[in-house]
Each structure stands twice: as structure tokens, then as C-alpha cells.
């Protein structure tokens, strides 16, 4: 078990956003979390990534309680994330963005007078990841000038550069054109295999993507787990189809 | 590459200036070089980390008063000791002040730095016995490289040894800052400037790096402040007043904060513009206000932005 959440409750004042959510993620799994708006997905992500502490219950990553530990400590422990709204460094090039992630991972950020250009390990790793994500041609393009799909890839690629053990992707294909969605996912899954990622968790609205790539799907509804099963089982579950997926479920 | 050529020409011009220009213009270069050091540091915070300090006069004041106290009260005349002492004093003050300020961003950061600057200004003004109050303190002529330069009158000292000493300090400060912004540390600062949320998700501790940048910029401001005092021979509380902080921010904007050399160009342009405008027109602040408005609206990249064909700087609008 890499990541485990037990009986998570999260209150915002009188509102109970999560009401006893338990889940676990095992080695080698690709787990998708789905649910309609207001089901508690965003809150769940914030708890799983240590942004917010749970009101009750706990989240354990590699056996360690990570409730509310914050993004910096989480990245050091080996969990990376990407964001629903694409997060990039507009003024930095693709390569600089990836170099920053390598610098952070190697703990070299406090080298005040060292030459970044002269750091071969940082340079090589950044180039390697750029190639892995098909961004090598645009290595010297400023992130602000990239097409939307590439911005999304860069956001994810920089998270991968941390060489995390587990990655949490918040809607990895939102804002990406339908034609490019599978391209993004294929690159992502391929890269995950290359760097030896131990598990992927994604929150996704696009059911095509969810059913095509997941080993397991967790459906949330009104702050509770409605179902937690393999895609085939989820597809056959009338309640999930009705409440979460909607009538136009892919066949 | 054009940059090394321009740089070499500028360096050569600075080195030969005392031999060809009248002393008056040479002495105008002294505040340029002092502010140059201040602005290199300020821009690490402003251009590279995305924090606008309106209280940097605090550290300029600390640097200048360190020199004054050392030369008049403690009998220490060596500039080679005054500069590190100024840096140390600034670091000691910047450590707690910075730790508090970097928890805030944007206007809150600016106002908090301004507040600390005003606290120090009031301290200088009210503690007469220690600081000389509004009259300030004398700054005695410091010795350079172990020599008093006793045979030189004040002007000869300033346009000769002191000028070249300032050039050396500015050159060293520029070189070190260039190393800092080209280092892994500099890259981490840029990630914070561009997107703190994303920087944290990559494991960059935003408050810690902002604090480092604050400390470095404070040290630079103090060294610049210490260089500023000997030409006037006097230090007074206006050095730490908030309008002085505003002036240095203006210099950075004038030169262009998105370029490494922009602040140096800004310091140079400010000093000589001020001198020219003041000599022909009594309302120089009016002119400067108009220039500032023009820069913000029409040339947010500053003078460097006008010369260099770079991407336009995005200024946030409401």
C-alpha cells in the first residue's frame, strides 16, 4: 500500500464536504477518481496532497501521516502533482522549467554562486524529460508561448522531473482539445513507465479517458465513496452510471 | 553578441572618464556607482523574485550610518572594513525584518517594508545622542587600500582613488550578482516570481527563498549606502526616508527591471537626468513624475526595454 486514506471527514463550517472517505492505492495502479461537481473531489485532492488537514481521519503515504504537511514537504517525500488549471512559469523556457524541478529534487537550490549552465546533471535530466514528453523541439520556447496542450504537458512533465513515486493528476486533459487528449495521456503513461512511477491517481471528467486508462475507478457522490471497483464493474453499476457518469456512458 | 561589446565599451568609458571629463561630472558618477550596487540588490528582489520593497532606504541608511559611526566614533577609517561591517549590520537587521515581510506579497509586502523603513527613520531622527538627529553625522574620509591619500584635496581624492575604489566595488558587486542570477538559486527565485503555487509543488520553499533574496538585497543596499556617504561627507535621516525608497524603485523602473543591466542604466539615467533637469528647471519632481507616468504606461520595460528587442513586459491591470 503506497497511499491510504481512512475515514476522511472534512468540514467547512457547518458544511461537510467529505463524509467518511476511505481509499487505498497499491503498487502499479492507475486509479481514477470521478464524481459530479460538488462531490468532494477537490477537497479529497487537497487532503491527499497535504494541502489541507482532514477534520477527522488520516492520510498515510508510505506509512507516514501526511495530513496538512504542505506541498514542499510532500514533494520531498516523493509525491508530485499537477493542477486542474494549468500551472506554468510563463517567463521561463521549457528547459528552465524542467531544470528548476531537477535543482529542487537534488537540493541544489541554495547553490548561490554555482553555474546552472555548468551543472551537467541538471542539464542532462531536463533534456531527457523534455524528450520523453515530446517537448525537445520547444526546449527554448518560453512557457507562455506554448500551445495549450504543450503547457499542460509541461506542467505534468515538471512534476515527473521530481521523479516521484506517486503522482496525482488533477484533470490532466482539461483544456486540451478532444483530438489531443489521447496523445497527452499516451505520453503521460509512457513517461510513467520510463521513470518507474509506482502509482498514478487522476481526477478526470472525461469518461473516455477514465475508462481507457484506469485499473480502478473510485466514484464519489456527496462526499462519500459510491463505488470503488474495476472499470468493467463500474460500467455495470446502475447507480454510478445514473449519478456520476450520466446516461451517455461509453459502451 | 552585442552585450559583451557594449559592456566592454561602457567599462572602458568609466575607466577613462576621470582623465577626460571635468571633475564635476566625475563626482556625479560616484552616486551612480553607489546606487548601482543598491539597485543590483533591489532588482534581485524586484525583477527576479517579484517583490517590490518600498523600504530599501532602511538598508541604505544602515550602510551609510555604519560608515559614519565607524569613522567618527570608533576610529575605524578603512573602507575595506566599513563595507563588510555595513553588510553585516544590514544582514542582522534584514534577518528578522525579512522573515516577517516575506510572509506577505504585493502591496502588503511593500507597505510592511515601508513601515520598517519609517521606524528606522524615526529612530535616526529622535535618538540625537546616538545619531545626531536631523542634522545627522559626519562621515570622515575613509582610507582606501590602507592609505589616507593625505596629499589629495577632497576633489582629487573623490575623482581619483575613491572613484576607482567605487568602480572596483561596483564591478565586484555586478560580477557576484551575475553569478547569483545565473545559478540554480537564481532559477528558483524566477520560479517564485512567475508562479509561487507551482514553485511550491516542485518542492521550492517559497518563504525561505524570498527570505534569502531579501537578505542579499539588504546587504547590497547597505554596501551601496556606505559608498554613498564619503562624497557628501555627511549622513542624515533623509537617507532612510520613504521617498528615498521610492527613488530607488523609480530608478529600477527607469532602467527596466526585466533586464540584468537595466537597474544600472536606470541609476545612471536618474543621476544625470536629475542633475540636468535641476539645473534648468526648478520643478524637477514634476518632470520626474511625468517620466514615471510615461514609463509605466508606454514603456514598462524601461530604457532597456526600449533599446532591446525583447518580449513586452506584462504589467498587471485591474
* Confidence at residue B3, expressed as pLDDT on a 0 to 100 scale: 81
Say whether B204 and A72 touch across the interface (CB within 8 A): yes
* Confidence at residue A247, expressed as pLDDT on a 0 to 100 scale: 56
Give the pairing type, strands A56-61 and A64-65.
Answer: antiparallel
- Which chain A residue has its CA at the smallest distance from B211's CA? A110
What span, in angstroms and rounded, lies between the C-alpha atoms of A131 and A161?
A: 12
- Look at chain B and count its residues: 318
Read off the pLDDT band of B159 (50, 70, 90).
very high
- Residues of chain B found within 8 Å of residue A168, distances taken between Cβ atoms: none
Please name the residue that has the C-alpha cell 523534455.
A130
Cα B188 off chain centre by? 23
- Dihedrals phi, psi of B52, to nearest 5 degrees: -100, 115
What span, in angstroms and rounded, lies between the C-alpha atoms of A18 and A88?
A: 30
Q: Is the pLDDT reported for residue B95 higher than 90?
A: yes
Q: Is the pLDDT reported for residue B76 higher than 90?
A: yes
pLDDT tens per residue across span A41-89: 989 999 999 999 999 999 999 989 998 899 999 999 999 998 888 899 9
Read off the pLDDT band of A251 (50, 70, 90).
very low
> What would the mean pLDDT of A12-20 be, rounded to a whole number?
90
Q: Is the pLDDT reported for residue A117 higher than 50?
A: yes
Say whether A112 and B188 touch across the interface (CB within 8 A): no
What span, in angstroms and rounded, lies between the C-alpha atoms of B180 and A85?
A: 32
As given in the structure block, the three cell numbers for residue A147 are: 500551445
Write out residues 80-99 of A within 8 Å (CB-CB) of B: 80-81, 83, 87-92, 96-97, 99
> What would the mean pLDDT of A165-180 be, rounded to a whole number?
87
Residue % of chain B over a pLDDT of 90: 75
- Residues of chain B found within 8 Å of residue A103, distances taken between Cβ atoms: 184, 187-188
What span, in angstroms and rounded, lies between the C-alpha atoms of A43 and A54?
A: 9
CB pairs under 8 A between A and B: 103
Read off the pLDDT band of A195 (50, 70, 90).
confident
Neighbours of A118 (CB within 10 A): 10
Say whether B179 and A116 touch across the interface (CB within 8 A): no
Q: Is residue A76 within 8 angstroms of chain B, CB to CB?
A: yes
What residues form DSSP beta bridges with A152?
A: none
Residue pair A203/A171 in contact (Cβ under 8 Å)? The answer is yes
* Confidence at residue A65, expressed as pLDDT on a 0 to 100 scale: 93
Neighbours of B179 (CB within 10 A): 15
Say whether A75 and B185 touch across the interface (CB within 8 A): no
As given in the structure block, the three cell numbers for residue A152 are: 499542460
Of A101, A94, A40, give the one whose Cα is nearest residue A75. A101
* Confidence at residue A26, expressed as pLDDT on a 0 to 100 scale: 93
Q: Is the pLDDT reported for residue B311 higher than 80?
A: no
What span, in angstroms and rounded, lies between the C-alpha atoms of B161 and B156?
A: 8
- Which chain B residue has its CA at the smallest distance from A82's CA? B201
Q: What is the ipTM of this complex?
A: 0.89
Say whether B184 and A119 touch across the interface (CB within 8 A): yes
Write out residues 162-191 of A within 8 Å (CB-CB) of B: 162
Say whether A111 and B184 touch across the interface (CB within 8 A): yes
CA atoms within 13 A on the CB side of B263: 29
CA atoms within 13 A on the CB side of B160: 13
What span, in angstroms and rounded, lies between the C-alpha atoms of B298 and B254?
A: 12
Residue % of chain A over a pLDDT of 70: 98
> What would the mean pLDDT of A159-169 be, rounded to a whole number?
93
Distinct helix (H) and strand (E) counts, chain A: 9, 10
What span, in angstroms and rounded, lies between the C-alpha atoms of A227 and A238?
A: 11
Q: Report which DSSP code applies to B134.
A: G
Say whether A100 and B205 touch across the interface (CB within 8 A): no
What span, in angstroms and rounded, lies between the C-alpha atoms of B259 and B248?
A: 16
Read off the pLDDT band of B304 (50, 70, 90).
confident
* Confidence at residue B258, expressed as pLDDT on a 0 to 100 scale: 86
* Confidence at residue B195, expressed as pLDDT on a 0 to 100 scale: 95
- Which chain A residue has its CA at the smallest distance from B186's CA? A112
- B310 CA to chain A: closest CA distance, Å? 12
Q: Report which DSSP code applies to B311.
A: P
Residue pair B131/B121 in contact (Cβ under 8 Å)? The answer is no
* Confidence at residue B26, expressed as pLDDT on a 0 to 100 scale: 94
N-term to C-term CA, chain B:
38
* Confidence at residue A249, expressed as pLDDT on a 0 to 100 scale: 46
pLDDT tens per residue across span A199-226: 999 999 889 899 999 999 999 999 999 9
Read off the pLDDT band of B309 (50, 70, 90).
low
* Confidence at residue B317, expressed as pLDDT on a 0 to 100 scale: 53
Round the average pLDDT of chain A to a whole number and report it.
90
What span, in angstroms and rounded, lies between the C-alpha atoms of B81 and A235?
A: 77
Residue pair B98/B215 in contact (Cβ under 8 Å)? The answer is yes
Say whether B203 and A72 touch across the interface (CB within 8 A): yes
Residues of chain B in Cβ contact (below 8 Å) with chain A: 176, 179-180, 182-188, 190-191, 193-195, 197-205, 209, 212, 311
Residue % of chain B over a pLDDT of 70: 96
Torsion (CA) B249, B254, B257, B263 in degrees, nearest 10: -80
* Confidence at residue B90, expressed as pLDDT on a 0 to 100 scale: 97
Distances in Å between the Cα of A244 and the Cα atoms of A35, A159, A176, A225 are 5, 29, 22, 11
What span, in angstroms and rounded, lies between the C-alpha atoms of B318 and B306?
A: 25
What span, in angstroms and rounded, lies between the C-alpha atoms of A153 and A132?
A: 11
> What would the mean pLDDT of A148-162 be, rounded to a whole number?
91
Read off the pLDDT band of B122 (50, 70, 90).
very high
Round the average pLDDT of chain B to a whole number and report it.
91
Q: Is the pLDDT reported for residue B119 higher than 90?
A: yes
Say whether A115 and B183 touch across the interface (CB within 8 A): yes
pLDDT tens per residue across span B218-227: 999 999 999 9
> What would the mean pLDDT of B38-62 be, rounded to a whole number?
95
What pTM did the predictor assign? 0.91
Say whether A90 and B202 touch across the interface (CB within 8 A): no
Say whether B198 and A114 touch across the interface (CB within 8 A): no
Residue pair B313/B258 in contact (Cβ under 8 Å)? The answer is yes
- Which chain B residue has its CA at the smallest distance from A122's CA? B184
Of A113, A79, A102, give the one whose Cα is nearest residue A198. A79
Distances in Å between the Cα of A198 and the Cα atoms of A1, A26, A164, A193 are 10, 8, 8, 9
- Residues of chain B found within 8 Å of residue A77, distances taken between Cβ atoms: none
Q: Is the pLDDT reported for residue B315 higher than 70?
A: no
Amino acid at each position: 500500500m503506497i497511499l491510504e486514506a481512512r475515514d476522511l471527514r472534512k468540514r467547512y463550517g457547518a458544511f461537510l464536504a467529505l463524509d467518511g472517505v476511505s481509499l487505498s492505492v497499491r503498487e502499479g495502479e492507475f486509479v481514477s477518481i470521478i464524481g459530479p461537481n460538488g462531490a468532494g473531489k477537490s477537497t479529497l485532492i487537497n487532503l491527499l496532497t497535504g494541502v489541507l488537514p482532514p477534520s477527522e481521519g488520516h492520510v498515510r503515504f508510505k506509512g507516514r501521516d501526511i495530513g496538512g504537511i504542505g506541498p514542499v514537504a510532500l514533494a520531498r517525500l516523493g509525491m508530485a502533482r499537477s493542477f486542474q488549471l494549468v500551472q506554468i512559469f510563463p517567463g521561463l523556457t521549457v528547459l528552465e522549467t524542467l531544470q528548476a524541478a531537477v535543482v529542487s529534487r537534488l537540493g541544489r537550490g541554495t547553490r548561490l554562486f554555482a553555474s546552472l549552465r555548468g551543472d551537467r546533471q541538471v542539464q542532462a535530466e531536463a533534456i531527457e524529460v523534455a524528450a520523453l514528453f515530446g517537448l525537445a523541439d520547444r526546449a527554448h520556447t518560453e512557457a507562455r508561448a506554448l500551445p495549450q496542450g504543450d503547457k499542460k504537458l509541461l506542467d505534468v512533465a515538471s512534476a515527473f522531473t521530481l521523479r516521484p513515486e506517486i503522482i496525482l493528476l488533477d484533470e490532466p486533459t482539461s483544456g486540451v482539445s478532444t483530438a489531443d487528449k489521447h496523445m497527452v495521456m499516451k505520453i503521460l503513461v509512457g513517461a510513467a513507465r520510463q521513470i518507474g512511477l509506482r502509482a498514478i491517481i487522476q481526477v478526470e471528467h472525461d469518461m473516455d479517458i477514465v475508462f481507457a486508462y484506469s485499473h480502478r475507478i473510485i466514484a464519489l457522490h456527496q462526499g462519500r465513496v459510491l463505488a470503488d471497483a474495476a472499470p468493467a464493474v463500474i460500467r455495470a453499476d446502475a447507480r454510478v452510471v445514473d449519478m456520476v457518469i450520466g446516461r451517455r456512458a461509453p459502451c | 553578441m552585442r552585450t559583451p561589446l557594449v559592456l566592454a565599451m561602457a567599462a572602458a568609458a568609466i575607466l577613462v572618464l576621470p582623465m577626460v571629463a571635468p571633475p564635476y561630472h566625475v563626482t556625479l558618477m560616484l552616486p551612480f556607482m553607489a546606487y548601482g550596487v543598491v539597485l543590483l540588490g533591489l532588482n534581485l528582489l524586484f525583477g527576479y523574485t517579484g517583490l517590490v520593497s518600498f523600504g530599501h532606504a532602511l538598508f541604505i541608511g544602515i550602510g551609510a550610518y555604519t560608515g559614519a559611526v565607524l569613522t567618527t566614533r570608533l576610529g575605524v577609517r578603512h573602507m575595506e572594513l566599513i563595507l563588510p561591517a555595513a553588510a553585516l549590520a544590514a544582514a542582522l537587521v534584514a534577518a528578522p525584518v525579512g522573515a516577517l515581510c516575506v510572509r506577505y506579497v504585493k502591496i502588503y509586502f511593500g507597505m510592511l517594508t515601508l513601515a520598517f523603513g519609517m521606524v528606522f527613520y524615526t529612530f535616526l531622527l529622535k535618538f540625537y545622542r546616538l545619531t545626531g538627529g536631523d542634522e545627522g553625522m559626519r562621515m570622515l574620509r575613509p582610507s582606501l587600500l590602507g592609505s589616507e591619500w593625505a596629499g589629495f584635496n577632497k576633489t582629487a581624492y573623490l575623482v581619483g582613488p575613491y572613484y576607482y575604489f567605487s568602480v572596483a566595488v561596483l564591478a565586484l558587486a555586478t560580477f557576484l550578482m551575475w553569478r547569483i542570477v545565473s545559478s540554480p538559486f537564481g532559477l528558483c527565485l524566477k520560479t517564485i516570481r512567475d508562479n509561487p503555487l507551482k514553485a511550491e509543488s516542485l518542492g521550492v520553499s517559497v518563504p525561505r527563498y524570498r527570505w534569502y533574496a531579501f537578505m542579499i538585497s539588504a546587504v547590497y543596499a547597505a554596501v551601496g549606502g556606505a559608498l554613498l556617504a564619503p562624497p557628501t561627507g555627511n549622513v542624515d535621516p533623509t537617507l532612510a526616508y520613504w521617498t528615498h525608497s521610492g527613488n530607488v524603485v523609480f530608478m529600477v523602473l527607469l532602467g527596466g527591471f526585466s533586464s540584468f543591466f537595466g537597474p544600472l542604466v536606470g541609476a545612471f539615467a536618474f543621476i544625470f537626468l536629475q542633475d540636468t533637469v535641476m539645473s534648468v528647471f526648478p520643478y524637477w519632481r514634476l518632470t520626474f513624475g511625468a517620466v514615471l507616468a510615461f514609463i509605466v504606461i508606454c514603456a514598462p520595460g524601461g530604457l532597456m526595454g526600449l533599446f532591446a528587442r525583447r518580449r513586452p513586459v506584462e504589467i498587471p491591470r485591474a
